[in-house]
Amino acid sequence: MRRMIIGAAFVVLGAAASVAAQHQHGAPATSAAPSPPGSRRVTMEDLHRGGGVPRGWKFTLPGGGDAAKGRQVFADLECFKCHRIEGAGFPEPGSDGKTGPELSRMGAHHPAEYFAESILSPNAVILDGPGWIGPDGRSIMPSYADSLSVPQLLDLVAFIKAQDGGGHAHHGGAGAMQERMVGPYRVRLAFRDARGHGGEHAGHGAHAHRAPAAGGVAGHLMVFVSDVTTGDPVPYLAVAAGVHAQGMPARVVKLGPMVGGDGFHYGADATLPNRTQRIVLTIGATTMQVMGADRTRYARPQTIAFDWSAPAK
């Protein structure tokens, strides 16, 4: 009997030592601590099944950049010699015979990652324009990958993103693109006017040739809804946009599922009044069948408001 008790004690001690060793060597351990906002927790098996990345993974540039410091970086690098920013107080570009795309109001038209890539790897996307491509077929813009620290890059991108025509990075307006998260969704709202301005890609087929309407801007309203965890588009939702303009009753625009050059989105041709102040999106419960633990994930309706603040014409 004594031998059995001693043996059992060694088993218990051995199990305790094994658990301690697992914690010391980084083995999986259960933690009740919540994940930081915007993050996702996966296992090593999940990474392997996804080819080395989580399902729907996409690199997102960290936030926290300082636009004021970014302005100084812009000046130190003499970016103003090629890129004009209206009202920024820099000399007019072209003094050295080189010019690049104007950055005035560009902050609302492209995601932060697009600007970061252009700064670090300007030949990843070569923009076709007058004098923007050299005789070798490459962009005339140099790479600053060896010139900037990570904080400087974040500050510079924040400064460019702030060039949205409204004086601050979250200002809306016709042609702007904004992104927010609500419930299980990442929601991106975009509007392309009749001239093809706004959104992520110029031109939208037949939508790009309508004349501006009197008292407003005619164009195509687009809402991109994706799962905040996987990044996958979420179909079979009832999506509507409430357009709130100063001095006018609110108007509701029903958006339908569409697929085109911009990818899957909920959209509708619409005219935004010149004094549009807010666009409030309502997202109803999905009508598709959802399996397993995600059964209730898309069952709750969501409402999200975007400050549009379109300037008066």
Q: Is residue 44 part of a domain?
A: no
Q: Is residue 235 part of a domain?
A: yes
pLDDT value of position 13: 40
Distance between CA 154 and CA 42 in Å, rounded?
27
**Residue carrying the six token digits 């599922």:** 257
Query: For residue 61, what are its two tokens?
Result: 């540039």
Given a cut of 50, is residue 2 above it in pLDDT?
no
Q: Is residue 278 part of a domain?
A: yes
3-state secondary structure at position 19: helix
Q: Total domain count for the chain?
A: 2
Whether residues 202 and 271 share a domain: the answer is yes
Look over the chain and give the mean of its residue pLDDT values, rounded to a whole number. Answer: 77
Straight-line distance from the first to the last Cα atom of the chain, in angstroms, rounded to the nearest whole number: 94
The share of the chain scoring above pLDDT 90, in percent, equals: 30
Given a cut of 70, is residue 173 above it in pLDDT?
no
CA dihedral (282, 108, 233, 229) positive or negative: negative
Whether residues 157 and 195 share a domain: the answer is no
The full 3-state SS of 46-110, as one line of letters, equals HHHHCCCCCCCCCCCCCCCCCHHHHHHHHHHCCHHHCCCCCCCCCCCCCCCCCCCCCCCCCCCCC
* CB-count burial class (<10 Å; 0-12, 13-18, 19+) for 37: exposed
pLDDT value of position 214: 53
Average pLDDT in the 277-299 region?
A: 85
Given 128, 161, 194, the domain boundary residue is 161
pLDDT tens digits for range 236-251: 999 999 999 988 999 9
Whether residues 143 and 209 share a domain: the answer is no
Q: What is the CATH number of the domain that holds 105?
A: 1.10.760.10
239 — phi, psi (to 5°)? -120, 135
Whether residues 150 and 238 share a domain: the answer is no
Q: What is the CATH number of the domain that holds 286?
A: 2.60.40.2480
**Residue carrying the six token digits 């666009």:** 279
Query: For residue 55, what are its two tokens?
Result: 């399902």
| Residue 174 falls in which region: left (phi positive, over 0), alpha (psi -120 to 50) or beta | beta
Whether residues 253 and 156 share a domain: the answer is no
Of 176-180, 196-200, 256-260, 270-274, give the lowest mean pLDDT range: 196-200
**Residue 310 pLDDT grade (very low, low, confident, very high; cuts 50, 70, 90):** very low
Q: What is the secondary structure of 194-212 as a DSSP string?
A: TTS-SSSSS-BTBGGGPPP
Of 72-76, 207-211, 236-240, 241-245, give the lowest mean pLDDT range: 207-211
For residue 235, the enclosing domain spans: 177-307
Distance between CA 109 and CA 41 in Å, rounded?
31
Rounded to two decimals, the pTM is: 0.52
pLDDT tens digits for range 119-168: 999 999 988 888 889 899 999 999 999 999 999 999 999 999 888 765 43
Given 161, 188, 209, the domain boundary residue is 161
Whether residues 142 and 226 share a domain: the answer is no
**Residue carrying the six token digits 């990843």:** 124
Average pLDDT in the 190-202 region?
A: 59
pLDDT tens digits for range 267-283: 999 999 988 888 999 99
- Find out whether 280 and 304 touch, Cβ atoms under 8 Å: yes
